[in-house]
Amino acid sequence: MAELKQSPAARHASRMRRHRLSGRRLRIIATAGLLALGVLGIAWIIVTGVMARSEAAAAQSAVNRLRSQLAAADLSQVGATADDIRTHAHRAHALTSGPAWWAAAHLPWVGRPLETGRGCAAQVDVLAREVLAPLVAVSETLDVQHLVNSGSVRVQPLLDAAPTVSAADSRLRTTTAAVAALPSSSWLSTVDTTREHLLSSLQKLQGQLDAADRAASVLPEMLGAKGTKRYFVGLENEAESRGLGGIPGAFSIVTAENGRLTFTRFESDTTLTRVHTGLDLGTEFERRYSAAAPADTYPNSTISPDFRDAAQIWAAMWKKYSGQEIDGAVAIDPTAISYLLRVTGPAALTDGTAITADNVVALTQKTLYRQFPNTTERKNYLLSIASAISTRLVTAKGSTPLIHAATRAASERRLMIWSRDAETEQVLRQTSMSGTIDPAGQPFSGFTTVNATGGKLDYYLRRSASYIRTGCGNESVTTATITLHNDVPAGSLPAYVTLREDHPPYPTQPGDNKLLVSYYATGGSRIDSVTVDGISTIVAPGTERGLTVFTLPVELKRGSTRTIVVRLHEPTRAGAVQILRQPAVNPIDVTVSEPSCG
């Protein structure tokens, strides 16, 4: 009744007051509700974040374990490891996929670590489902453990696996790129570190899968899946050094037909000592090596450190000599053979002598010269060793350890493969087996030696080198050093080992050696100075394979040590320096010190 007695204006004012009070209460309730939801959302993110971090860490650990298993060619546990990754990755992804995570991840600045963590979880989940799952399935069919057996490689499983491996490789590239695109710097360092470690693992896994993809794409055809292939296999003798490693000695011809390897003949180096091929390897090669006539002289065919040169020379020589075309070439040295024999067990000669991983290097590059002073007898004995080793290799059972041994030899440039087919060769050049010199836009450094005496004293050569770069860009200054030591033992050596076919105009003693030392630097480098034992030396730089290179002769007396120091200015190049390590009986020890120039 009181309200009815009020004037219309008073009644309106009263209603407005009640409406304002009601609106204020609604806003308070709404705000409180939103705050409660926010608190609950934050609590949810914190709780699920801790849980997701634990799952992500477990997945990351499993990824690292998987890489180690693949690197060691241990496939027995790969399936279980992939299951672990899949389980933990799916849980981490599920925990970071709710609306609270989505909203928080899209907040400016504040949401950067959440965006990164959420993205990492999602990509590891993709890795498990779309990369690892199909690879594990195909590996069970492929049965890598028994891929090689008694001289045969099962090519059909390789052909069947190739599409799956290629698809997984492509999907992994997309996954790796997605992780790389996530915010790398936020206010939460633990998330940034997690992303960094995951990206590193994915990149290393990418390298392994790339190699598998390349192998699956070219191996079947190289092994004669589409017709017989013929290969020239040259054995290098590092007791007399050449740029590639050692002087080429005995060789064999191998055929591959539907995966079966057959050694059809073994020949001494005298078969091809002088064969005029007429091969033209370009003006740069001619300018560097014409005095040694490598295209017509088998002992000098490995003078270049790039295997493409030697392989083409071998192909041309064999065609000229036999009329047969070869489809590819393989270079191998006794150290690489020792790695393989460590897996297969000893090879046996007809006289009962065992050729083992422990004695093959010394027997073929040192002992043989004292045991057989007669050259013909020595070469025939070496051919019998080569034949016995080949028989042992083609009767070996099981493939995983052999693959591992071959991979090690290739990484040390002791096992190299070239293909006449341009497409196959292009794929091989992306692997460590190509033996090519390819700076790929990186800084480059490497010393090589070529024996100038015709003797076999490089069996006793010891080398160490260093590469030190200071500054970046135009201020970059590099010092490259190599130390050579002639470690010939006391006592007399066979005359064939110590001979001096260079006939120096100065007196020498048995055991004195002479080397042609070459230094390869980043293309466009300016050589500031070269010293030998602290004494300045004038050099004439040239070019080879896009690199700056010079060569100088060094007399290395018995028991002596010589040190060559090169100081130069290198043009700006991104990435770490690529070091050329010339293989030898005694591997070269190289130390590297350089700034990170981006």
Q: Supply the pTM of this predicted model.
A: 0.82
Same domain, 181 and 306: no
pLDDT at 18: 56
Same domain, 504 and 585: yes
Total of domains in the chain: 3
Q: What is the mean pLDDT of the chain?
A: 84
pLDDT tens for 37-95 read 333 334 434 444 445 456 666 766 766 776 676 655 555 566 677 677 667 666 655 55
119 or 175: which leads in pLDDT: 175
Same domain, 353 and 459: no
pLDDT tens for 265-298 read 999 999 999 999 999 999 999 999 999 999 999 9
Beta strand residue intervals within 333-488, DSSP E: 347-348, 354-355, 415-419, 444-451, 461-470, 477-486
DSSP secondary structure of 335-364: HHHHHHHHHH--EE-TTS-EE-TTTHHHII
Same domain, 173 and 302: no
Q: Is residue 223 part of a domain?
A: no
Whether the pLDDT of residue 322 is over 90: the answer is yes
Same domain, 483 and 406: no
Q: Is residue 1 part of a domain?
A: no
Same domain, 314 and 374: yes
Same domain, 287 and 373: yes
Give the end of a domain, one of 157, 185, 218: 218
Domain membership of residue 56 as a residue range = 12-218
pLDDT tens for 346-397 read 999 988 899 999 999 999 999 999 999 999 999 999 999 999 999 998 888 7
Task: Name the nearest CA neighbour of 256 among 224, 219, 233, 226.
Answer: 224
Mean pLDDT confidence for 161-167? 87
Sheet order of strands, 260-267 included: 148-149, 152-153, 260-267, 245-257, 229-242, 328-332, 415-419
pLDDT at 431: 84
Q: Is residue 224 part of a domain?
A: no
Same domain, 418 and 315: yes
Say whether 77 sits in a helix, a strand or coil: coil
- Count of beta carbons in the 10 Å neighbourhood of residue 509: 9
Same domain, 164 and 17: yes
Same domain, 415 and 511: no
Q: Is residue 62 part of a domain?
A: yes
pLDDT at 254: 96
Task: Name the nearest CA neighbour of 250 among 265, 266, 261.
Answer: 266
Q: Is residue 155 part of a domain?
A: yes
Task: Name the nearest CA neighbour of 165 among 188, 144, 185.
Answer: 144
512 or 175: which leads in pLDDT: 512
Q: Which of 23-32, 108-117, 189-198, 493-502 has the highest mean pLDDT?
A: 493-502
How far from the centroid of its chain's Cα atoms is residue 165's Cα? 19
Retrieve residue 262's tokens.
């057959």
Residue 282 vs residues 278, 289, 544: alpha-carbon distances, Å? 12, 11, 11
Same domain, 121 and 252: no
pLDDT at 395: 82
Give the end of a domain, one of 426, 457, 488: 426
Same domain, 270 and 397: yes
Q: Is residue 521 part of a domain?
A: yes
Residue with tokens 């970046």: 472
CATH number (domain holding residue 365): 3.40.630
Give the end of a domain, one of 195, 218, 241: 218
Whether the pLDDT of residue 570 is over 70: the answer is yes
Q: Is the separation of the CB atoms in 222 and 230 below 8 Å?
A: no
Q: Is the separation of the CB atoms in 428 and 417 below 8 Å?
A: yes
DSSP secondary structure of 498-541: H--TT--SS---TT-EEEEEEEEE-TT-EEEEEEETTEE-----
Say whether 6 sits in a helix, a strand or coil: coil
Q: Is residue 259 part of a domain?
A: yes
Q: Is residue 394 part of a domain?
A: yes
CATH number (domain holding residue 561): 2.60.40
